[in-house]
Amino acid sequence: MKILENKRQIETFLKVLRNRSSGKGKDNLENKVRIILNNVRKQGDRALIRYTKTFDSLDTKSLRITPEDITKFSNKAPKKVIEALKISAERIRTFHKMQKEESWSFSEGNNLIGQIIRPIERVGVYVPGGKASYPSTVLMNVIPAQVAGVKEIALCVPTPRGEINPYVMAAIKLLGLKEVYRIGGAQAIGAMAYGTETIKKVDKIVGPGNIYVATAKKMVFGEVDIDMIAGPSEILIIADDSANPIFIAADLLGQAEHDELASPVLITISKKLSDAVSRELKRQLSGLSRKEIARMSIDNYGAVIITKNIKEAVELSNSIAPEHLEIMTEKPMDILPLIKNAGAIFLGEWTPETLGDYSAGPNHTLPTGGTARFFSPLGVYDFIKRSSLLRFSKDGFMKLSKIVKTIAIAEGLEAHGNSIAVREDYIDR
């Protein structure tokens, strides 16, 4: 892993990080996704069946995974996995219940002003499939919607060559989902966004996916709402001499194995620690089954950055705004108030990012690529709508009428002012 110490090296590396998701073939990719989405919108199920055969090597006329199949395949999951999913689901649900918002209002005499909180009616959840199975994605995306009170949840998960993953089905059964479809990729996003003969249109789409899925979500935004445009995974660790290099190397590799574009970064004030972590990375990397993926991530988008002091390390972290931020210092709570931008913050050596991926409770769907500057983790608040509530009496209207009319006239909106004036005339009669 490269070690960066001077300003020019660091700036060059940060530029590489910012540009890692934008490849030369972006325009060509968008054209391909646009064609898929248009075909799904025009042809509905026919397009889904054709794309499922092309991309998933599955020739089927049935797009739905029935409740019977969900039960059948979930029963193939080992009991210890099912038990782990149950415990994780309970913790995730407990955490997200704390995020619930309630409607509120206050009175000004006979006037009433407030806000009504309602759940989104129908949500689509995308769960990746193929190279790996992600039951945790089911839990993290469905539970906040259920806590919010969403009535209808449709889930799409690809089943390449017809292979239905028992772990994913176990998570689906645990949460009581009934509406599940065996489609993936941009075509699944199109189906949920536009609706087909089989799949009813949703109001919002959430869940991670490959570059085709991410691009499709970006393109259908406006037709439906989406959670966020997720990029490659990333971890940033701030550490001092007190940190354990074995733990740090393990946590960096935990993100590096996601994919070749993942970014594992250590910022430290200790040259001794950086050398120790580099040695540990080589040792631990050699034993990983996904070592080639992890090695490319480390070589291309990983770095050890050495700063003069912790303050400088924190400032650099805030500018990067990482998805996952681990603080492995002697007194991590002293640093916490200085952190401005991070998707999730993990304090101390016994709080590895992996806890947050699965069982701690907070959501693992986090902003990436620096968007933690303005985005938040997925939560109950992503599945609600807020409506403003107003009720004014005649006296309340009269107290504001002249003020409103003055502003309307100043903005040159005559009809706005007239909606006030006609009521004033009616009262004067």
Eight-class DSSP state of 163? P
**Which residues on neighbouring strands pair with residue 65, listed in sequence order?**
180
- Per the annotation, the verdict on 324 as an active-site residue is yes
Give, in degrees to the nearest 5, the angle at Cα 124 between 159 and 212. Answer: 60
Structure tokens at 162: 């017809």
The answer to whether 111 and 143 have CB atoms below 8 angstroms apart is no
Please state, in angstroms and as integers, the Cα–Cα distance from residue 274 to each residue in 244, 259, 265, 311, following that order.
Answer: 11, 23, 11, 18
Helix (H) or strand (E) holding 61: none
- Tell me which of 96, 257, 258, 324 is the catalytic residue: 324
Nearest to 391 by CA among 123, 148, 107, 132: 107
The answer to whether 238 and 332 have CB atoms below 8 angstroms apart is no
- Tell me which of 179, 323, 349, 353 is the catalytic residue: 323
Helix (H) or strand (E) holding 247: helix 245-256
Give the helix ranges, DSSP H, for 286-360. 291-301, 310-320, 332-335, 353-358
User: Would you call 106 exposed, middle or buried from its count of C-beta atoms within 10 A (0-12, 13-18, 19+)?
Assistant: exposed
End-to-end CA distance of the chain: 82
Give the strands of the sheet with 204-206, arranged side by side: 64-65, 179-181, 152-156, 122-126, 204-206, 225-226
The catalytic residue positions are 323-324
